[in-house]
Every structure is written in structure tokens, then in C-alpha cells.
Chain A
């Protein structure tokens, strides 16, 4: 068991004896840094970004502790600040507390237990505050995404419905059975598109909120499943589909998340083919060795323009007018890989093809 890391504490006092005494008393429990002037205190803060608690003497020759704290707050808002002072300075202390510059004050001469409990509580406060900040950031991100989401959902979900309504209107006014059938065929495609969108949304939710279930993955089974899933479509579209699996060590991961990644990459590879290419292919290579899976998904399809390649993983981004992407797929892939600590790289040439390389560590 690794011991939790010691809390880094900075103590500033112009009395060398106090510094020595402080360090001697607390060095076993805390990671103690000392400085004998405000200037040295600044330097310490500059060097050590992980200082959690600062204790500072109020009475120092060039600067008071309150002044020191006032100055550092804008640049270093995170560390918890505590003032050491005698009763005579109480006015300035009250002022500093009210302005929010210090978390608490400790009267001098200090008692070991006072300091200890102050650091413990201060550290707890530090942890709570930083956790709150992290949560707030996450929340802000979620809100931003929700805005984007709401906007696109009205388009992507309403789109196919409105198209179908328009088509029904058209078919109602037509007596030409051939034309009506043509319209029906198009409506079908449009509804499939909406269904795919809803499935992607479900995946999105799974990745965002679902818990990972790590277990040993049977990649033979998964690649066979993928083979079954895509071979039909590959035949219809006359696309050669080959799967190659090499595995010399076990691979542990979350099966559902892994499937989302492979499914999306493959379905893109099939979707974005060049229509008049007469030797279309899609290749899936999976290599597992030394606790690491590397997945290659290659196609010789339409490729991705350099101008768009950095945006393809953005939510609702679509790089082409061809075919029917939801703008969800690669976003989900990237998000899924983030959860599995994996990475993805892409290289592509327009009209030649695309290769995605995914690396996932075994858990």
C-alpha cells in the first residue's frame, strides 16, 4: 500500500528560530517548506505549484502577512492561507478575514496542536474547494454540450420526420404508382437515418454515464460478430471486407465501449466509399501484444480533406455532403477511448482512403 502523499505546507517567518522549530516539529507529518521573508515566500510559490497550505507571520520587516496574502491571492488563489499573529494585531486580522484573504488565524506563540488541527482542517477545505472547482468545470462543459445537443437534435431528429411529411404530401397528390414507390423508398432511408441517430444517442449516453465493466475480452468472438454484422452490406456494396486478428496476450477492457469504437469506425469505412470505385475494400487489423491492443481500420474510400481532419472528432461535425452521417460517430469513438485511456490517430488522403489507428491499453 502506498502512503498518501504528505501535504505540502509553506511557512513564512522572519525569525530563523521559528522556522527551524516549525520544521522540526512538523516535518514528519507534512512536507514543510520554509521562507524567511515575503520575497522568499513568492519564490517558493513560483517553484512549488502544489503548495496546499500557507502559514505566514503577520509581523515581518518589509511586508505584513496580511499584505503578503493580499498580493498572492490573485495569482495563487488555491492554497489555504493562515496568519500567525499576536493579539495586538487583531484589527488588521479582522479586516483580512472579512476580505477573504485568510482562512483562519493562529495566535502566537503557537501551540503544536493548534497548528496541527489548523493544517488538517485547512487541507480538508482545500480538497473540498478544488473538488468543487473540478465539478463546476465538468458541469459547465456538460451545459455547453447540452446546448449544442438541443440545437442539433431539433435538426437531426426533426429532419427525417419533416422529410417524410413532405414526401407523404407529395405522394398524396400523385397518381403515378412508380413515383409513389420511389418516394416510399426514400422515406424508408430517411427513417433509417433517424433510427441510426437515435442509436448513436443511446451510445452517447452509455459512454457518458455508464460504468465500465472490465473483464477479459474474447476478441475472436467480437471480430466474428463484426464479420457477420458487416459482411451482408459489404456484399451488396461490392466491398471486400477482411479481418485479421493476432493476439499473444490476454486483453482486459470494457466490451460495450470497445464494440462502440469498432462499430463506428467500421461503419464509417463502409459508408464513405467512392461509389464508382470498382475495387472497394475495408480492412480491420487487431493486434494484441504486451498488454496493448492496436486496431487498424483501413479503407480506400473518399478520404478526408486536410482542412477538416482536425474537426472530425467534434460533436455533430460532418466533413462531407455525401452519405448520411449523424455527426455523432467519431465523437462517440473519441469519448469512448478517453474512458479506456486509449488514443486514436488518423491519416487520410482525399480519393485514396483513410486509416484510423486505435491503441488501447489492457486494464
Chain B
């Protein structure tokens, strides 16, 4: 198991959920940096500027106004070249019980996991351990 530190990017329009994610991530001790974004467009700009010496874990909420989680995946696919994509570990977060969302998420090869909210220490550690 590797214990390298990673960059974390959280995208969620709920401030509380961003806050929770930030704390939970910090508590794992695996974060080189944590940044939270309310708007997916801002996050997309930010991840292009990250140095690629470390992996980046992205946690993105599905239901958001303006640019939702799936729109983010589309834009990510367009703007991040394929050879760089493996550097990102993209995870979707959702509070909906809707199966179609999960099925839709599976269509994207670069999506690592589909996580149900709330994000807890154990879900996150489990995800990091099985990456």
C-alpha cells in the first residue's frame, strides 16, 4: 500500500459538504493539499495548474447548478489530454438514490468510484486503499 501524499479537490455546491469533505480528508493524513470549490468551472481551471508529480483525487458532487457532475466529466475529458488523465482519480459523490446516475457514471472509464453521501472517514479510507 502506498502512503504517498496526494492533492485533493472537492467540488460541491453545498458549503457544509465541502467543509465536511475537507476535514475528513485532512484527518486521513494523506493530503498534500485540499481545495474545495462551489463551482465546477473554477475547479476545472484549477486542476490544470496542479503539478503532476503527485496524484490528484477529485471528489465531485453530481447535482449542482450551472455545471453538474456529469458536465464536469465531459469538460474534464475534453480539456485534460488522455496521457494526463491517469494522474487524476475522479470520484462522483451523490445524495440521490437514483440508479440511472450510477449507470451513467460507469460509462466514463476514468471514473474511479461512485460514492454515496455523506463522505465519512471510513468511505474515504476504503476508497484510498482500493485505488
The A-B contact count (CB < 8 A) is 77
What is the minimal beta-carbon distance from B108 to any residue of chain A, in angstroms? Answer: 20
Q: For the complex, what is the distance from the CA of A186 to the CA of B24, rounded to whole Å?
A: 16
B93, closest chain A residue (CB): A162
In the complex the two chains form, is A159's CB within 8 Å of B14's CB?
yes
Interface string of B1-27 (1 = CB under 8 A from A): 000000000000111110110011001
Interface residues of A in 284-335 (CB under 8 A from B): 308, 317-322, 325, 327
- Interface residues on chain B, size class: 20 to 34
In the complex the two chains form, is A151's CB within 8 Å of B96's CB?
yes
In the complex the two chains form, is B64's CB within 8 Å of A321's CB?
yes
Q: For the complex, what is the distance from the CA of A321 to the CA of B13, rounded to whole Å?
A: 6
Whether B98 sits at the interface, judged by CB under 8 Å, is yes
B21, closest chain A residue (CB): A166
Q: For the complex, what is the distance from the CA of A190 to the CA of B97, rounded to whole Å?
A: 20
B23, closest chain A residue (CB): A170
Whether B30 sits at the interface, judged by CB under 8 Å, is no
Whether B48 sits at the interface, judged by CB under 8 Å, is no
* Known interface pairs A190-B14, A322-B38; A169-B118 also in contact (CB < 8 Å): yes
In the complex the two chains form, is A165's CB within 8 Å of B118's CB?
yes
Please classify the interface of chain B as helix (H, G, I), strand (E, B), loop, or mixed, using the class held by over half of its residues: loop
Q: Which residues of A contact B95 (CB under 8 A)?
A: 154-155, 158-159, 162
Whether A32 sits at the interface, judged by CB under 8 Å, is no
Task: Pick the residue among A166, A182, A189, A321 that contacts B120 (CB under 8 A).
Answer: A166
In the complex the two chains form, is A319's CB within 8 Å of B66's CB?
yes
Question: How many residues from A make CB contacts under 8 Å with B?
Answer: 30
Q: Which residues of B contact A320 (CB under 8 A)?
A: 65-66
What is the minimal beta-carbon distance from A329 to any residue of chain B, in angstroms? Answer: 13
Q: Which residues of B contact A154 (CB under 8 A)?
A: 95-98
Interface residues of B in 45-86 (CB under 8 A from A): 63-66
What is the minimal beta-carbon distance from B76 to any residue of chain A, in angstroms? Answer: 17
B66, closest chain A residue (CB): A321
What is the minimal beta-carbon distance from A285 to any residue of chain B, in angstroms? Answer: 29
A165, closest chain B residue (CB): B118
What is the minimal beta-carbon distance from B95 to any residue of chain A, in angstroms? Answer: 5
In the complex the two chains form, is B24's CB within 8 Å of A170's CB?
yes
What is the minimal beta-carbon distance from A308 to any residue of chain B, in angstroms? Answer: 8
Whether B119 sits at the interface, judged by CB under 8 Å, is yes
In the complex the two chains form, is A163's CB within 8 Å of B118's CB?
yes
Q: Which residues of A contact B23 (CB under 8 A)?
A: 170, 179
What is the minimal beta-carbon distance from B37 to any residue of chain A, in angstroms? Answer: 9
What is the minimal beta-carbon distance from B130 to any residue of chain A, in angstroms? Answer: 21
Interface residues of A in 170-216 (CB under 8 A from B): 170, 173, 179, 182-183, 186-187, 189-190
* Known interface pairs A154-B96, A319-B66; A169-B14 also in contact (CB < 8 Å): no
Q: Which residues of A contact B98 (CB under 8 A)?
A: 151, 154
In the complex the two chains form, is A155's CB within 8 Å of B96's CB?
yes
Q: For the complex, what is the distance from the CA of A159 to the CA of B39, rounded to whole Å?
A: 17
* Known interface pairs A159-B95, A321-B39; A166-B15 also in contact (CB < 8 Å): no
Q: For the complex, what is the distance from the CA of A186 to the CA of B14, rounded to whole Å?
A: 10
What is the minimal beta-carbon distance from B111 to any residue of chain A, in angstroms? Answer: 19
Whether A234 sits at the interface, judged by CB under 8 Å, is no
What is the minimal beta-carbon distance from A300 to any residue of chain B, in angstroms? Answer: 21
CB<8 Å pairs between A and B, sample of 20 = A154-B96, A155-B63, A158-B95, A159-B14, A162-B95, A162-B117, A162-B118, A163-B118, A166-B17, A166-B20, A166-B120, A167-B19, A170-B23, A170-B24, A173-B121, A318-B65, A319-B65, A321-B13, A321-B65, A327-B65
